[in-house]
């Protein structure tokens, strides 16, 4: 009798021995997975068949989608491209295939790792100094752009581009960055001495972040973030090549506390007033930072 009691103490109570998460109902496992991240949910599917069923469930992926995703999709003229067969497929579609919303005035997509909301504001929704004067800027159509028009700089000395949006459109409690999405023609000039200054901030925070951006610096390849730069290039944001063939350059970061503040961002060089030409602007993208 004593030996059995000792054996029981050693192995634990009968109700605790051999009990694993897999014995839980699928609904409970789904609730657990829903408190992780989309990346973790995909990994959980490899644990077992019951985990796979839970990780693939609509209940889990509904939690990863923004609360207002249905209202956003309802604004889209390109929602036919979305895979609506399940909430997971919808999530992946919104991550991989941005949709146009608000009468093509914005492009919307999800950050694939986090599910946070991302937007690309087209050049037409930005305030561009002399943008309506064909002597300085031209509005052209490019097949590689998701928008009907992009802005091409013909010649200007006063270089000033600004944009704004309500932070309520973005995911709260999230660190975001703004990126200029652009190209340079072979004849581009005037963006190096001095380089333009980017700015970003919200009306409520009262703090504006500024940094110089090297639009015509060599494209930064993966793994070059810690590369030694010339003294005049330090503290200067550098361009990266995007998967869609455009270039992007970071204009700055901000933390979205939520609320109704207005986010303001821009890029300008209005001090030296040297001529500039050859910049093609698709828009400014707002998306979460990583790392």
Which among 223, 119, 102, 237 has a CA at the least distance from the CA of 167? Answer: 119
- Contacts with 91 (C-beta within 8 Å, 6 or more apart), sequence order: 38, 61, 64, 65, 110, 115
**pTM for the full model?**
0.84
Query: Is the pLDDT higher at 225 or at 53?
Result: 53
**Cα separation of 236 and 80, whole Å?**
41
Query: Within 13 Å of residue 185, how many CA atoms lie on the same side as its CB?
Result: 15
- pLDDT, tens digit, 9 for 90 and up, residues 156-214: 999 999 999 999 999 999 999 999 999 999 999 999 989 999 999 998 777 899 999 99
Please compute the mean of the pLDDT values over residues 63-82 and round it to a whole number: 91
Please tell me the predicted confidence (pLDDT) of residue 135: 97
Confidence grade of residue 37 (pLDDT, cut at 50, 70, 90): confident
Confidence grade of residue 239 (pLDDT, cut at 50, 70, 90): very high
Confidence grade of residue 4 (pLDDT, cut at 50, 70, 90): very low
């Amino acid at each position: 009798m004593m030996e059995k009691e000792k054996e029981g103490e050693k192995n634990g109570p009968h109700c605790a021995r051999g009990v694993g998460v897999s014995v839980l109902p699928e609904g409970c496992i789904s609730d657990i997975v829903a408190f992780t991240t989309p990346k973790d949910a995909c990994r959980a599917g490899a644990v077992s068949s019951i985990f796979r069923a839970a990780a693939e469930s609509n209940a889990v992926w509904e939690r990863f989608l923004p609360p207002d995703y249905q209202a956003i999709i309802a604004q889209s003229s390109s929602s036919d491209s979305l895979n609506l067969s399940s909430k997971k497929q919808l999530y992946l579609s919104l991550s991989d295939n941005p949709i146009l919303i608000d009468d093509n005035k914005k492009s919307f997509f999800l950050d694939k790792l986090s599910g946070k909301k991302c937007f690309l504001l087209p050049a037409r929704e930005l305030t561009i100094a002399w943008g309506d004067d064909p002597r300085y800027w031209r509005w052209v159509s490019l097949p590689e752009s998701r928008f009907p028009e992009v802005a091409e700089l013909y010649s200007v000395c006063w270089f000033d581009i600004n944009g704004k949006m309500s932070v309520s459109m973005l995911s709260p409690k999230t660190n975001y960055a703004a990126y200029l999405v652009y190209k340079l023609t072979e004849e581009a000039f005037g963006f190096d001495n001095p380089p333009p200054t980017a700015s970003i901030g919200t009306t409520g925070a009262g703090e504006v972040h500024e940094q110089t951006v090297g639009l015509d610096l060599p494209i930064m390849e993966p793994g070059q973030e810690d590369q030694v730069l010339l003294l005049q290039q330090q503290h200067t944001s550098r361009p990266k090549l995007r998967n869609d063939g455009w270039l992007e350059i970071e204009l700055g970061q901000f933390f979205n506390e939520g609320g109704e503040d207005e986010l303001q961002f821009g890029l300008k060089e209005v001090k030296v007033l040297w001529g500039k030409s050859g910049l093609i602007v698709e828009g400014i993208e707002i998306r979460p930072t990583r790392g």
